[in-house]
Structure 1
């Protein structure tokens, strides 16, 4: 998968990402995928924190590699199926992006910016029409932040859809 282009990823946003992660950990609201094996579950939070502090979603994916940190199968409709080859990239990219979006929203709110704008942060060879229709839309930073904080481990109501490549940016 292609790399994300996080337009507002600076030290302030990274710090806010860490605050969001730590708040989830402290309130026992931190998402750890059931697709991870015991080693993956043990290392996941520290790998995310390290990647947010020092690098990006690609480094996070390299740390949470498929061979070492995922179960060989998972249950789909009650039956075991082989773990998809892109399981690591889906998990790492989507969770890094969720914390990035939460931090951008928190930054906007702290600076009296009421809305953030949806943009394509990762190019895709095939993008869903529903995703393309959202690009350029403005969304309440507070509503999006609340939605992402309350939809841990499940699809959020507002955005982003898993693997959509969409993120948000500060409107200037």
Structure 2
């Protein structure tokens, strides 16, 4: 089940698309290491549609049904490298993370425009939340710094730790 995006309206969607196109123009689009070659192209083609009229769930389903992910991946172990099955949840994890990143970037841009603050909230219930995620809830972030951080750091390695890793269930809202 996807995230509950509290400020996902037409303006936010337009800004999400603007941010996605910014990444495409800068050749800075994050592509999962688990994507097949087909998946890399497919994601870039379908993401705009899901930004404008879908959500992370619709994106995940589209990526899965289009066979965008490899079936197996190499994993390093103590004794070397082994071939492991890519988890069935790969499409959901990736879609949620990337849709949320563009949503947060759009809200950061919007907060700058509207003179508002951004507050972290739990966008999906968690029966066993991580302590680092719980510690972020209710925190406020500087919109300009957050936008810069998310533009410069692809994937989950952001300076502010937001989004807070795969499956954290955290997002931001305008305040």
Q: CA deviation at 1:54?
A: 1.1
Specify every segment of 5 or more residues in structure 2 that has no aligned partner in the other structure, as ranges.
none
Specify every segment of 5 or more residues in structure 1 that has no aligned partner in the other structure, as ranges.
none
With structure 2 as the length reference, what TM-score do the two structures score?
A: 0.91
Deviations 1:142-164 (A, max 9, x none): 11111100111342121112210
- Count of aligned pairs: 169
Partner of 2:115: 112
Deviations 1:43-101 (A, max 9, x none): 10122111011111110011000771111111222432210121111100000000000
Partner of 2:169: 165
Aligned pair partner of 2:131 in 121, 126, 129: 129
Partner of 1:87: 90
Q: Distance in 2 between matches of 1:58 and 1:133?
A: 26
Q: Structure 1: which 4+ aligned runs deviate by more than 4 Å?
A: none
Partner of 2:19: 20
Is the contact made by 1:48 and 1:60 (CA closer than 8 Å) also made in structure 2? yes
Change (3 A) 1:120 1:146: same
Aligned pair partner of 2:144 in 137, 142, 145: 142
Change (3 A) 1:55 1:109: same
Q: Distance in 2 between matches of 1:163 and 1:154?
A: 11
Q: CA deviation at 1:170?
A: 0.5
Change (3 A) 1:60 1:74: same
With structure 1 as the length reference, what TM-score do the two structures score?
A: 0.93
RMSD: 1.4
Partner of 1:46: 45
